Amino acid sequence: METKINDLRKISKQGLAQGALSTLIGSAIFAFFNAVAIFVYAQTFETWVFGVLLIVFGISVVLSVVPGLYGGRWLAHLLYRDALAGSLTRKKAIMKGTILGMFAGFGICVFVVTFLYTRGDFNILIFRIISAVVIAGWMGGWAGAKLVDNIAHILK
């Protein structure tokens, strides 16, 4: 019993770490796509685009750090339960991570639209929502794939 508790603690820490890393990478990708969209829209690259990239990255990290950390931890617990049941596969982990990531990304977008969005082009808003949900799903799937390896290593 003590071994399972220690394993669960290790896996929980791995989930938090993977969630934090996924948040940072996903926020960087989201900021990059927004900078590219601004570049395409403005048809010029000026120094203010780099400032916008940093601002979008910062806001993205602030909004996604809590869902990323707790989503990674929850994903680690779900995968640990699957490992104990003997049904953990990489495909299953990627699917669970993708679904959790997409729900987290959609939840963040609902929060932003409800409380923070005031004006602007609706098409740009839709582009950002779709890109945020896709990137969050991608990062969740990546986190699931990495956690499978970590869980297998811990349980050996």
* Contact between 96 and 44 (Cβ < 8 Å): no
Structural contact between residues 78 and 11, judged by C-beta atoms closer than 8 angstroms: no
Residue 4's pLDDT band, with cuts at 50, 70 and 90, is: confident
The pLDDT tens digits for 21-33 are 999 999 999 998 8
Q: Does 53 have pLDDT greater than 90?
A: no
Cα distance between residue 46 and residue 82, in whole Å: 50
In 3D space, the residue among 145, 138, 155, 142 whose CA is nearest the CA of residue 93 turns out to be: 145
**Residue ranges per domain, the chain?**
2-155
> In the chain, where does DSSP find H-type helix?
2-42, 47-85, 90-111, 122-155
Note the pLDDT of residue 1. 52
Q: Which two tokens stand for residue 156?
A: 């050996």
Q: How far apart (Å, rounded) are the C-alpha atoms in residues 27 and 59?
A: 9
* Alpha-carbon gap, residue 78 to 136, rounded angstroms: 18
For residues 34 and 98, the model is more confident at 98
Q: Percentage of residues in the chain with pLDDT exceeding 90?
A: 57
Q: Say yes or no to pLDDT of 54 above 80.
A: yes
Q: Are 142 and 97 in contact (CB under 8 A)?
A: yes
pLDDT classification of 3: cutoffs 50, 70, 90:
low
Question: In the chain, how long is the greatest CA-to-CA distance?
Answer: 62
pLDDT at res. 5: 77
pLDDT tens-place string over residues 79-106: 999 998 889 999 999 999 999 999 999 9
Residues 48-63: what's their mean pLDDT? Answer: 87
- Supply 154's token pair: 């811990």
